[in-house]
Amino acid sequence: MEVFTVRTSAREQLVDITHIVRSFAADQQLSDGMIVCFVPHTTAGITINENADPDVTRDILYKLNKEIPQSDGYHHGEGNSDAHIKASLMGSSLQVLVADDMLALGTWQGIYFCEFDGPRSRRLILKAFPCA
């Protein structure tokens, strides 16, 4: 298991972390297996989506903000209830398969750290599970 730092520069941001996961797999000499990616935060998440067109990440944030605005009569006193809701929708973990020394992602797929209450320094925990 290894812990990485992801630094965000905006309140809401999708950061492509595919290269971090790919490097981790190589460092672990994982040729076949699975990597679990975990985000130990309640206002950040993780997802897999298209990484060829940056408009996709902009559209995801646009739609999340339209449906879950920052201020909407929430009761949570910290003023970041929208971030908690968005993080819950994205999820805090995912699994990525590794086959023949490569992440088994689709042609257009990338792995994104989802920041909803930044900017901050966040943790990303990766654990490799080789095939027996």
**CATH number of the domain that residue 92 is part of:** 2.60.120.460
Over residues 77-83, the mean pLDDT reads 93
Task: State residue 77's pLDDT score.
Answer: 83
Structurally, the chain folds into a number of domains equal to 1
Cα–Cα dist 16/82, whole Å: 22
Could you read off the pLDDT of 46-79 as tens digits, one per residue?
Answer: 999 999 999 999 999 999 999 999 988 999 988 8
Cβ-proximal residues to 128 (8 Å cutoff; 6+ apart), any chain: 24, 25, 28, 30, 33, 34, 35, 98
pLDDT at position 132: 73
Whole-structure pTM over 0.75, yes or no?
yes
Give the pLDDT band (50/70/90) at residue 115: very high
Residues in the chain: 132
Residue (of 18, 44, 28, 15) closest to 122 by Cα position: 44
Domain that holds residue 79: 2-130
Residue whose token pair is 């298991």: 1
